[in-house]
Chains A and B, each alone.
Chain A
Amino acid sequence: MATTVTRKPAQARPWLSKQLRNDLRAYAFISPWLLSLVVFTGYPMLATIYFSLTDYTIVQPPQWVGLENYQRMFTADPQFWPAVWNTTFYAVISVPLSLVVALGLALLLNQNVRGVGIYRTIYYLPTMVPAVAGALLWTVILDPQNGLLNSMLESVGLPGPGWLKSAEWSKPALILMALWAGTGSAMLIFLAGLKDIPQTLYEAATIDGASSWQRLMRITLPLLTPTIFFNLIMGIIASFQVFGQILASAGSGGTVGPLNSLLMYMVLLYRSAFRSFEMGYASALALVLFVFLVLLTMLVVRSSRHWVYYEGEHPG
């Protein structure tokens, strides 16, 4: 049996495979963004590593000092550990509180009631107010003598604290301000998460006789864990970077709040960079914060395996 071998005419193979061409095309389209990422984010990040190992005043060339900035930070700077403590206190209280309040508001605003759109707008509006304007507003509200909040407390027979003028109450005051300003965006994300939960699950549960509480605990919260997870990560990062409100409410000169009680990590970083002209030391502070946040985020991500559930995923 004769076999006929049909030889296909030799075709010039494209220099680049189709897949690679497609990839390159995609990269070409995002190249403006990539370029700015490399130039305006990547390079500064790498530069920060280098500057953190130098004595650098911006105007004069950096002088290599090795790990001196880090050594000073952990062992010799009397403001470092108070700043770490203040920031941690603020983050530990404000992040969970903000999540709970935002979730509570989202659950309320997820109800089918008249004018719900207006309520959503009202609760979201503070997010739109610039941090400095919001802080100035709260400085007036929290004035111990003439402020609105203490007047309200007084009217119900409660003594008003000193808020921003008190070493004990200044951080709770800041948390209150952050709660007002930051809850709106988290609430909106929770609301989107709630809308994503299939109604059929609630209907089935209702038919099975589940109470509202059971539906919340067995359906809503488990299916909302990816949203909680996202808001938690964003909240942690934002809380360790709190800055604008403090600068506006406590001023940039002298002590930051009574007895430096509002000296947060970012304020220390800013003061080191632009008031003491220690860009090298400020870079080291920035890098330590970055590494800490990366580790903390990784920890939260790792823990998420145990408490974040995605629809259709079968645990175990």
Chain B
Amino acid sequence: MEREQHEGRRSVMSRRTFLRSLVVAGSAAVVAACGGNTAPEGGPAASAPGTAGGGGPVTIEWLNRYHTPVTQTLLPEIVSAFEAENPDIKVRYENPGSGEGYTEQILTRVAGGNPPDVATLFEPPVEFATRGALMELDTYMASATLATPDAFYPAPFRSCQWQGKTYGLPSSAGATAIFTNPAMLSARGISTSREGFPRTWDELKALDKEFIVIEGGEVKQAGFVPFIGSSWAYPVWSAINGGQIYDAANNQYTIDSDQNVEWVDYWLRWLDDNYGGDLEAMTIAANWASNYSDSAFYQGKAAMTFEGSWSCTDAEIPFEWEVVHLPVGPSGSTSYTAFYPNWWVVPNGSKQPEAAFRFIEFISTTGWTIWYRTIMDTPAWKQFPPTVITEKLVATIGEERAASVNAFFADYLNSAAEMWTSPVDTFASEQVSLAVEKVLRKQQSPREALAEAQQLAQAKLNEVLA
């Protein structure tokens, strides 16, 4: 009996001890999980910025966003080249999988005090910078040899700036153009040269009409359909009509300006005059945007289309093609190109900002040659050697034409539209996109729809600026 009691008591004590231990262990685990960052494996988190901690090279962590197979072969090459040039810096990166949740990762890591040293963005850095997520790079740029402010094309560089301060570097600035099918043009006796291409929207609209085939109410063939697809590039349509979507210098949206109302109204009349006015029927009939394999252009059902330089190699267009400038609208005087950069940034709280800057300087300048040889994403660095041409482009269209196309896009970037400069760029783009769609689907007049988008975008901007 006594033994039983004793054992019983011992067993009670044992459980209490067990429970107490469990609570302590659990609390420790929670504290550890919620605690501050620790140095990454092999990383010199404790070492001073830009110095080799413990005499060895510093390791920077790059939050990589590229996940396609071709980029997976390029990334090690670029990193090796950088490390060879900078033996005091090692770059560590991982394959991000599908890339979903990337933004969340950056923001939460910055908030948690454990940011990567470098991140690649496919969204404008200004949106992150105005929320305090990015480091200002001007101090580093002041002593840089390659990545100086005037070394980049002006508009792509301004897409990294907010109120005069720089928060990233653009490695690429994929420029855009109208792609033409010269065979379709010449079959109708129309000039196929860049110089002979329409200079105004009126001329382009008339040229479009030459190719339109409608059977049984369905559009079977088109010339050029500007109003379907690539809504991200709307700032360029505003620019070539003498307008702008956002005035960065004055923190002011100008979505419902007269030029923009005129632009959207012009598209509405284009849809009505040339295609019978039914946007949905047109959308269903074919993919009039782009030049990839599912598009009408690729399939020879559209003579022209709007796309980016990257498609010169990515789309593998199965016939000879040409690129031409965008014609200007009734109120415009200059042709501009839209561009879509890949931005490189140093998140706030980076432990190795100097080394991180050296890496993004490399990738935005000389290092981009490795990338550009394989992927035709127009460099944003003006001093990029013109002799470096995407190998696939040369193989597809020959050296001479490849050089010409290459020079065309590089030169066009000198006249790039102002875009990606707003702290609420994504939200505002969605509003403009919706407004244009409402107009083309006859739900609102251009002025009403754009005024609504203007009011929403400006209100959102004011909220962020407040």
Which residues of chain A have a CB within 8 Å of any CB of chain B? 11-12, 14-16, 21, 24-25, 28, 31-32, 35, 39, 57-60, 78, 132, 144-145, 162, 165-167, 253-255, 258-260, 271, 274-277
Contact = CB atoms under 8 A, between A and B. Distances in A.
A254 B131 contact: no
- Central interface residue in A14, A24, A35, A277, by most chain B CB within 10 Å: A277
A24 B283 contact: no
B358 to A, nearest CB: 24
B111 A258 contact: no
B280 A258 contact: yes
A145 B294 CA distance: 10
A276 B434 contact: no
Contacts of A60: 131-132
Given A28-B18, A58-B107, A254-B429, A165 B12 contact: no
Contact of A59 (B131, B430, B452): B131
B9 A276 contact: no
B437 A255 contact: yes
A121 to B, nearest CB: 28
Nearest to A150: B284
B133 interface: yes
Given A57-B132, A58-B107, A254-B429, A39 B30 contact: yes
B253 to A, nearest CB: 15
B434 A255 contact: yes
A277 B434 CA distance: 20
8 contacts: A25-B15, A39-B33, A59-B111, A59-B133, A162-B280, A255-B437, A258-B441, A275-B427
Given A14-B9, A254-B231, A275-B426, 5 more contacts: A24-B19, A35-B30, A58-B107, A254-B429, A274-B107
Contacts of B452: 78
B424 A166 contact: no
Interface string B7-35: 01100100100110010001001100100
Contacts of A11: 5
Contact of A165 (B103, B232, B284): B284
Contact of A28 (B22, B131, B284, B456): B22
B127 interface: yes
A16 B103 CA distance: 51
A15 B12 contact: yes
B144 interface: no
Given A167-B441, A276-B424, A21 B12 contact: yes
B231 A274 contact: no
B214 interface: no
Nearest to A58: B107
Interface residues of B, number: 45
Contacts of A12: 5, 9
B165 to A, nearest CB: 16
B332 to A, nearest CB: 24
Contact of B284 (A21, A162, A277): A162
B460 interface: yes
Contacts of B429: 253-254
A132 to B, nearest CB: 8
B433 A255 contact: yes
B64 interface: no
B127 A277 contact: yes
A259 B427 contact: no
Contacts of A31: 22, 26
A145 B231 contact: no
A274 B438 CA distance: 25
A58 B280 contact: no
Contacts of A274: 103-104, 107
Contact of B19 (A28, A255, A276, A277): A28
Nearest to A61: B111
Contacts of A58: 107-108, 110-111, 131
B181 interface: no
B348 interface: yes
A108 B143 CA distance: 75
B443 interface: yes
Contact of B348 (A24, A59, A275): A59
Interface in B409-466: 424, 426-427, 429-430, 433-434, 437-438, 441, 443, 452, 456, 460
B212 interface: no
A277 B131 CA distance: 8
Nearest to B23: A31
Contacts of B437: 255, 258-259
A166 B285 contact: no
A31 B30 CA distance: 13
B433 A254 contact: yes
Interface in B201-237: 231-232
A78 B284 contact: no
Nearest to B34: A39
A59 B111 CA distance: 5
Nearest to A168: B280
B466 to A, nearest CB: 9
B286 interface: yes
A35 B108 CA distance: 22
A39 to B, nearest CB: 6
B15 A276 contact: no
Q: What are the nearest 3 A-B pairs in CB distance?
A: A144-B284, A162-B284, A58-B107
B131 A21 contact: no
A59 B441 contact: no
A60 B349 CA distance: 13
A132 B100 CA distance: 11
Given A253-B429, A254-B433, A59 B283 contact: no
Contacts of B29: 35
Contacts of A275: 103, 426-427
Contacts of B427: 275-276
A259 B12 contact: no
B441 A259 contact: yes
Contacts of B12: 14-16, 21
B161 to A, nearest CB: 19
A313 B40 CA distance: 61
Contact of A145 (B285, B456, B460): B285
B438 A259 contact: yes
A275 B429 CA distance: 12
